[in-house]
Structure 1
Amino acid sequence: MSAENPNGLIEIQIDNTIATVTFSHPASNSFPSDLLQKLTEELNALNNNDSVNVVILQSTGKTFCAGASFEELLSINDFETGKNFFSGFANVINAMRKCSKIIIGKIQGKAVGGGVGLASACDFAFAYQDASIKLSEIAIGIGPFVIEPAVSRKIGKTAMTQLTLQPYHWQTADWAVEKGLYADLFDSYGELDENTLAFAKKLAGYNPEALAEMKKVFWEGTENWDELLYQRAAISGRLVLSDFTKNALSEFKK
């Protein structure tokens, strides 16, 4: 897979009941709307694929995910466009929680905004030692509204508050392990690859029906997300049109 594709790519590889989903985009693996839609569609397809027991979610390069596309964010000029834009990560998170397969995140680098949401929506995650995290949304007048339920579910409301109110501060991968976002860290990409695959193979050898039933247990209490995440997307869709956000985006663009 080439990360030079200007539109980004989603690649699916299935090997012995393990599906590896790899996403890439030249802008630090950020997500424009169409790429989020493709990821949602692929996750829904894997949910219905009886030949798959376990899913690994990963990206290419040194950054895991820089969140939503900044270029697309700049182009929003009306509420419906804004709501639809922010609904992209809502669609992916809902697809991840509803997927009957256990999803293992392989976080090889930094995650920002929606990237933290993706890592949080994984059922289990391994990471590279430099995989620090940051939520920068409040600095431009919006907030991590859509991903908040997934992040808070994983690391707790207090840690989520710390991330949200320190938009310029990177929390270390060690901090993320302490809070429960990552299960373990590795000192090299090779170790990360080996341990993620070894864990996936172990899971793939378990009873898939038992794993599917346990996944329902893991996500109990999130049934309202079909409505909640889109209500949150509407908040962001409104705020992105504010004078504060327009001015902040103009400064960032400069």
Structure 2
Amino acid sequence: MEAFHFKKEGHIAIVTIDSPPANALSRNLLKNLDQLLDQLETDSDVKVVLLKGEGRFFSAGANIKEFTGFQEASDYESLARGGQQVFDRIEKFHIPVIAAIHGAALGGGLELAMACHMRIVTENAKIGLPELTLGIIPGFAGTQRLPQYVGTAKAYELILSGTPISGVEAAKIGLVNHAVSEDILIEEAMKLATSIAEKSKLSIKEIMKLVPYAKTEQFQTGVKEEAQAFGRIFGSEDAKEGVQAFLEKRKPQFKDK
């Protein structure tokens, strides 16, 4: 499948994002991810999914170049809703998904990782939601999932500053399960996956149904409003300037309009 490698080791499905150079989350990649979930959903042998990235990054975020091809707010809202639906499907998946993060999980890459049920990260990885530095906002449910992991005050800080944190700090604030050295990342992720795969699939499936009940009822409202805001923001001059500055590798000049 384009943009993904897929193999099985026992009851563990190892899925690798392979979309060089940064594993950017294009519309096509998200569509392929959704199709891969279809495949995994019907594989009775799989008990755990391990998601990782090929190359230098787990995922450096959304495909910014795609943004320049959209014209209307509804185009951007549709993009946000599409990503949200795939990530929501991961979070509600009956098979546990472990993200093994190296290099960077930024923007949409972090939003993808947060939709996974567990996260193991390298100590020196860059983790964050830098969208506001481009004059835009997170659109794949980042504003709703991040506070659940780190609390509202830290979520405000990370989103509003746009400053990435290290894997070590991400572990300290509860955003990821463990931070490890890069040379043992996959080994540690496989250890966790193996310990789960040894359990009864019937028990695993029940846990995957029960834990999500702890989520607030306001989550879906927040996700819907995030997609609408994502669309509105792209109508601003600042969003156009921020995206253009990113593509031109320069600092944006925001005018607050």
User: Normalized against structure 1, the TM-score is what?
Assistant: 0.89
Q: What's the offset of the Cα at 1:28? A: 0.9
Q: How does 1:105-144 map to 2 (within 5 A)?
A: 105-144=99-138
Matched, 1:55 2:53: no
Aligned to 2:30: 36
Matched, 1:149 2:144: yes
Aligned to 2:81: 87
Matched, 1:163 2:158: yes
Q: Distance in 2 between matches of 1:122 and 1:212?
A: 15
Q: What's the offset of the Cα at 1:230? A: 3.9
Kept after mapping to 2: 8 A contact 1:119/1:181: no
Q: What's the offset of the Cα at 1:65? A: 0.8
Aligned to 2:90: 96
Aligned to 1:45: 39
Aligned to 1:214: 207
Kept after mapping to 1: 8 A contact 2:135/2:241: no
Moved more, 243-252 or 194-203: 243-252
Q: 1:98 to 1:106 in 2, by over 3 A?
A: same
Gap regions ≥5 residues in structure 1: 2-7
Q: What's the offset of the Cα at 1:152? A: 2.0
Kept after mapping to 2: 8 A contact 1:109/1:132: yes
Q: Distance in 1 between matches of 2:76 and 2:242?
A: 16
> SS where residue 4 of structure 2 aligns?
strand
Q: Distance in 2 between matches of 1:185 and 1:158?
A: 22
Kept after mapping to 1: 8 A contact 2:101/2:125: yes
Q: What's the offset of the Cα at 1:227? A: 6.0
Q: 1:38 to 1:229 in 2, by over 3 A?
A: farther
Q: Distance in 2 between matches of 1:33 and 1:171?
A: 27
Q: Distance in 2 between matches of 1:198 and 1:150?
A: 26
Matched, 1:22 2:16: yes
Give me the identity figure in percent. 26
Gap regions ≥5 residues in structure 2: 249-257
1:3-33 alpha-carbon deviations (Å, 9 max, x no partner): xxxxx61122122111111112224111110
From 230, 246, 252, the equivalent of 2:240 is 246
From 164, 175, 200, the equivalent of 2:169 is 175
Q: Distance in 2 between matches of 1:18 and 1:76?
A: 38
> SS where residue 185 of structure 1 aligns?
strand
Letter in 2 for 1:147: G
Q: Distance in 1 between matches of 2:144 and 2:41?
A: 22
Q: What's the offset of the Cα at 1:248? A: 2.1
Aligned length: 246
